[in-house]
Structure 1
Amino acid sequence: MDGEEQRRSTARAVEHTGLSVEQLWGRYFAMGGNCGLLDVDAYLHGLMDLPELERDILAHTVNERLDELTPPHRAAYSRTLRDGVPKGRRCRRW
């Protein structure tokens, strides 16, 4: 995906998160993003580009927020696949 496509995709996704640019930037910075608030805002509005790594960190930040809002839909199994507590002896520590 080229940089402009990624920017448009990220900007559309940000609209669905309900986050302000300040909240988004705080999450992005906490994930290790290095660009400033104004840079992120300008990027989302198509006024400047960000380096590839920074775009990916921002996209990851947005995707994590979307995961919080929309839990994954999973098909149910007919039985429990695994008990929460293993049965039998514990493994020895070395």
Structure 2
Amino acid sequence: MDNDDRQLEAIRLLLPSAQLTAGELWLKYFAIGGSAGQFEVEAFLYGAHQLPTLERDLVAQTLNEQFMALDLEDRIPFSAEPAASADDRSVDHGRAPDRDGTSNPDRSAGQQESEG
């Protein structure tokens, strides 16, 4: 059984504790940024459809927030993501390159443009 199966098993086991219908769960999931349709989420709950990792984790987050609101200690685990590769870690996201092509974490793109 892989992590996706364990997560779905936990969701199906704990869903009644959340005191939500599938439709109510979907509405709360959608409100926190979920993008799958209600039919897709319901099919996922019955094991008839797979959701992408992010969407599964948003379902888990929705249930976890409901458990907290009900003062329950139940929690759905999040998906285990593979570790980032060395190439992924070396990518500099959000830093503007200096004029020499390197990145300087202390300067934003706006600062560089105003200097030029």
TM-score normalised by the chain length of structure 2 = 0.58
In structure 2, C-alpha distance between the alignment counterparts of 1:31 and 1:14, rounded to whole Å: 18
Matches within 5 A, 1:17-36: 17-36=18-37
Q: Which runs of 5+ in 2 are unaligned?
A: 74-116
Alignment-derived partner of residue 85 in structure 2? none
Q: How many corresponding residue pairs?
A: 72
Percent identity at matched positions?
A: 35
Structure 2 CA distance for aligned equivalents of residues 38 and 7 of structure 1? 16
Structure 1 position 46, deviation (Å)? 0.7
What is the RMSD of the two structures over their aligned residues, measured on CA atoms?
A: 1.4
Question: Runs ≥4 in structure 1, deviation > 4 angstroms?
Answer: none
Counterpart AA for 2:44: Y
Cα distance in structure 1, aligned partners of 2:21 and 2:72? 21
Partner letter of residue 55 of structure 2? Answer: E
Q: Which runs of 5+ in 1 are unaligned?
A: 73-94
The answer on 1:64 being equivalent to 2:65 is yes
- Matched residue SS, 1:35: coil
Matches within 5 A, 1:1-94: 2-70=3-71
| Offset from partner CA, 1:60-85 (integer Å, 9 cap, x none) | 0000001111167xxxxxxxxxxxxx
Higher relative contact order (CA 8 A, sep 6+): 1
TM-score of the aligned structures, taking structure 1 as reference length = 0.71
